[in-house]
Amino acid sequence: MEDKNYKPVKTNKVAENSSPFTGVLGWLDNRLPVFRMMKHEYLDFQVPKNLNYFWSFGGILMFCLIGLIITGLVLGMHYKPSVDDAFDSVEKIMRDVNYGWMIRYAHMNLASFFFIAVYLHMFRGLYYGSYKEPRQLMWILGVIIYFLMMATAFLGYVLPWGQMSYWGATVITSLFGAIPFVGDSIVTLLWGDYSVGDAFLNRAFILHWLIAFLIVGVVLFHVIALHMTGSNNPMGVEPKDTRDTISFHPYVTTKDLYAFLVFILLFSFMMMYSPNLLGHADNYIEANPLVTPAHIVPEWYFLPWYAILRAIPDKLGGVIAMVSAIGILAFLPWLDTSKVRSSVFRPIWKQFTWILVGDFFLLMYCGAMPAEGVYIMLSRVGTAYWFIYFLVLAPVVGWKERPLLVPDSIHVATKLNSKK
């Protein structure tokens, strides 16, 4: 006999026919609603209607990450992480493994294109104010991803065990020795010996893989944060109603597909015709601890931070400045005091942001040059502006600047632009 004093239990079961799919797909989706979630979060997901091609780099970055993991898996099957065999195993991949040359060049150039796309992705977020409320956590997760990318790329650069691999590893790992009290212990832990050698190479191989999959996990959180807050847009105005948005498919997918095809064309041309353009010739010479290269430089995507490191005469000060130059990005949502999100409506801030882009390339150039004379002076100027931009200009300009009139909604601004 049913007792009316108790309410029926709410079951967690999904109705048998609640899936938008039919057949086998519907049966699976009713029991594991992955397809339903993908349809809701991607195909039917509403995005601002005024997105430009800068918003295509998210998909390009996902492709690069998947490509790096797949090519890395194949390379890892043939690589031998020991100082006696590492260099030869890479040469064997290039010469004896079927399409090994193509897989290695794809992995190398995907890493470079990954960083190119990341820098453009970060610039877009900086220029259009994607770090502001309510997207602070998404921005911070992006900064964490960048730190992890740097660690993975550095460890991957060590693995071929060429001259730049060895000496780059020696220089970078020795920087930890500048940390007071525990620095020497950290260096010994990293090396696993009294110098960079077999133990360190094994650590680099394992950590290269481990951090790569850690990046995948943080990227998933980054995407979830994006879908919780929605995409920013070039005007920095939140959508008000359905007139301000369009569905992700087919509109954004078509635009992303075009951007992806252009990316593939550029990547394929680089890989087939000039695969070593962004590399260093010395890394095709086997590592020799007794022969120091005339000029030790990291990969091109580390050069701005390398210039900041060398701009400070003190070793510990240089390490702090280098880490702070990247870490300061995570605090930008609170350093920027302006109520207006996009630089489109901030004429003064826009100029300083473009100067920052030039400053980034100046630091990159100085990082590739010898640490002497005018290059050190230019590095110090570039380093000074980098920190002034974030610590002084962001709060002061945000407080003093008079922004342009921001449109009330996206669809109104779109109509005004179409009439011009």
Please choose, from the candidates 267, 296, 301, 268, the residue with its C-alpha nearest in 3D space to the C-alpha of residue 283: 296
User: How many angstroms separate the CA atoms of 176 and 171, rounded?
Assistant: 10
Please choose, from the candidates 225, 231, 246, 259, the residue with its C-alpha nearest in 3D space to the C-alpha of residue 56: 259
Residue 115 backbone dihedrals phi, psi, to 5 degrees: -70, -35
User: How many angstroms separate the CA atoms of 127 and 116, rounded?
Assistant: 16
What does the pLDDT look like over 355-405, one tens digit per residue?
Answer: 999 999 999 999 999 999 999 999 999 999 999 999 999 999 999 999 999
pLDDT value of position 4 = 65
User: How many angstroms separate the CA atoms of 339 and 100, rounded?
Assistant: 53
Mean confidence (pLDDT) of the chain? 93
The three-state secondary structure class of 145 is: helix
The three-state secondary structure class of 240 is: coil
In the beta sheet, which residues pair with residue 162?
286
Half-sphere exposure of 60 (CA within 13 A, CB side): 30
* Residue 131 pLDDT exceeds 70: yes
What does the pLDDT look like over 96-127, one tens digit per residue?
Answer: 999 999 999 999 999 999 999 999 999 999 99
Confidence of residue 23 (pLDDT cuts 50, 70, 90): confident
pLDDT value of position 32 = 87
Quick one: tokens of 137? Answer: 């956590």
User: How many angstroms separate the CA atoms of 330 and 343, rounded?
Assistant: 19
Cβ atoms of 287 and 350 closer than 8 Å: no
Which residues carry out catalysis? 227, 231, 255-256, 299
User: How many angstroms separate the CA atoms of 195 and 213, rounded?
Assistant: 28
pLDDT value of position 295 = 86
- DSSP conformation class of 42: I
* Residue 82 pLDDT exceeds 90: yes
What does the pLDDT look like over 35-80, one tens digit per residue?
Answer: 888 888 888 899 999 999 999 999 999 999 999 999 999 999 999 9
Q: Distance of CA 137 to CAs 48, 131, 294, 339, Å? A: 20, 8, 43, 18
Cβ atoms of 165 and 287 closer than 8 Å: yes
pTM of the predicted model, to two decimals? 0.93
Domain residue limits, the chain? 1-44, 54-419
* Residue 217 pLDDT exceeds 80: yes
pLDDT value of position 298 = 93
In the beta sheet, which residues pair with residue 277?
none
Query: At CA 271, angle to CA 268 and CA 275, rounded to 5?
Result: 155
Mean local confidence (pLDDT), 304-321: 95
Please choose, from the candidates 132, 172, 126, 148, the residue with its C-alpha nearest in 3D space to the C-alpha of residue 349: 126
pLDDT value of position 10 = 60
Confidence of residue 13 (pLDDT cuts 50, 70, 90): low
Q: How many CB atoms lie within 10 A of CB 84?
A: 10
Q: Residue 247: which H helix or E strand, with range?
A: strand 245-247
What does the pLDDT look like over 133-157, one tens digit per residue?
Answer: 999 999 999 999 999 999 999 999 9
Count, residues in the chain: 420
Question: In which residue are the tokens 């009139």 written?
Answer: 405
CATH number of 54-419: 1.20.810.10
Confidence of residue 411 (pLDDT cuts 50, 70, 90): confident
* Residue 12 pLDDT exceeds 80: no
Mean local confidence (pLDDT), 83-90: 96
Mean local confidence (pLDDT), 352-357: 98
Percentage above 90 pLDDT, the chain: 82
Q: How far apart are the two ends of the chain, measured CA to CA in Å? A: 75
* Residue 406 pLDDT exceeds 80: yes
Buried b (16+ CB within 10 A) or exposed e, 231-260: bbbbbbbebeeeebbbebeeebeebbeebe
